[in-house]
Amino acid sequence: MADFVLVHSPVTGPATWRWVGAELTDRGHRVSIPAVPAGATSLGWPAFVGSVAALARGSAKPVVVGHSGAGPLLPLIGDRLGAGALVFVDADVPPESGSTPLVPEEFLEVLRGLAIGKRLPPWSEWFGPDEMAALIPQDDNRALVCAELPSLPLAYFEDRVSVPDGWSATTCGYVQLSDAYAEQAAKAEDSGWPVARLAGQHLDIVTQPGAVADAILTVAGLPAAADDGSAKARRSGESGAVPRPRGEQLAEASTSAAAPVPETVGRHGVFRRISRSGRRS
């Protein structure tokens, strides 16, 4: 049994992890999903990191897992929590030392164009009205996720993150969900990390939680077997149902064709043409 801390992207909320959290709990692990308030995230990445660390306090050498925009912050969060391992899920891998931008300059220009005054609309509105339905076809699940999406100040993305020296000495693994993160997965592989490639969509943490949980356990060097049949049942086709979450701080909420989209709505890493299966958060 291991302790897991599942960190949501700053532009989403804890509900994105509730299904994977339930899967990991089914396998006998302790799970914490810190619910970072939008007000804390609006203060900047140090407040986001501090909030995660405070909410996950008490976890014993946890496996800290970050999705998407949580990637650049994962070394800092792991350092604060004394992480036993870090797992990046469809997320950017920061450099081994120095600082890194939260988004590259070319994507920052796109965000500046989306801002109303000095604030951005929720992430679901960045890429058109049909994007969330493409990523999360199940109505109930999509409603839970969308209800938590914050409207953040543009200033959040204009900052840089200082990473702790030597953070990559911690055991690390990578789970690639979408094509948009192929370069980051290759970067992790080049560093000698275990990498799992699922060839799906960016929000498969919502729609394919069993497969994602298996991949996280595999790259963390833990057995993927479930304690009972409940997790297997969800993996066999019940992804549309909203599971009853178990474990510590499991979040309670307050595939269509991959058509190409214009380059002007790129991603938070390499800025290039991507499909709906690779939308970044």
Q: Rounded to an integer, what distance in angstroms lies between the CA atom of residue 18 and that of residue 248? A: 11
Helix (H, G, I), strand (E, B) or coil at 64: strand
For residue 158, the model assigns a pLDDT of 96
Residue 65 has pLDDT above 60, yes or no: yes
Compute the mean pLDDT over every residue in the chain, rounded to the nearest whole number: 84
Sign of CA dihedral 42, 264, 16, 60: negative
CB-based contact 237:262 (threshold 8 Å):
no
Give the pLDDT score at 280.
Answer: 56
- The residues facing 30 across adjacent strands are 3
Compute and round to an integer the Cα radius of gyration of the chain.
17
Model confidence at 276: pLDDT above 60: no
Interior/surface letters 54-87, b for 16+ CB within 10 angstroms, e for the rest: ebbeebeebbbbbbbbbbbbbbbbbbbbebbbbb
Contact between 93 and 87 under an 8 Å Cβ cutoff? The reply is no
Let me know: does 20 contact 216? Beta carbons within 8 Å: yes
What are the tens digits of pLDDT across the range 99-138?
999 988 899 999 999 999 999 999 999 988 789 999 999 9
- Whole-structure pTM value: 0.84
- What is the length of the chain? 281
Are the C-beta atoms of residues 223 and 37 closer than 8 Å to each other?
A: no
Q: Which 3 state secondary structure label does DSSP give 246?
A: coil
Q: Which of 69, 280, 73 is nearest to 181 (CA)?
A: 280
CA angle (165 as vertex; 161, 170 as ends), nearest 5: 105
Q: Tokens standing for 113?
A: 């164009």
What pLDDT, in 10s, does the model give residues 188-208?
Answer: 999 999 999 998 999 999 999
Q: Label residue 59 by pLDDT band (50, 70, 90).
A: confident
Q: Which domains does the chain have, with CATH numbers?
A: 3-278 (3.40.50.1820)
226 band by pLDDT with thresholds 50, 70 and 90: low
> What is residue 253's predicted lDDT score, i.e. its pLDDT?
27
For 78-103, the pLDDT digits (tens) are 999 999 999 999 999 999 999 999 98
Q: What is the pLDDT of residue 275?
A: 32
Return all residues near 169 (Cβ < 8 A) that are at least 6 apart: none
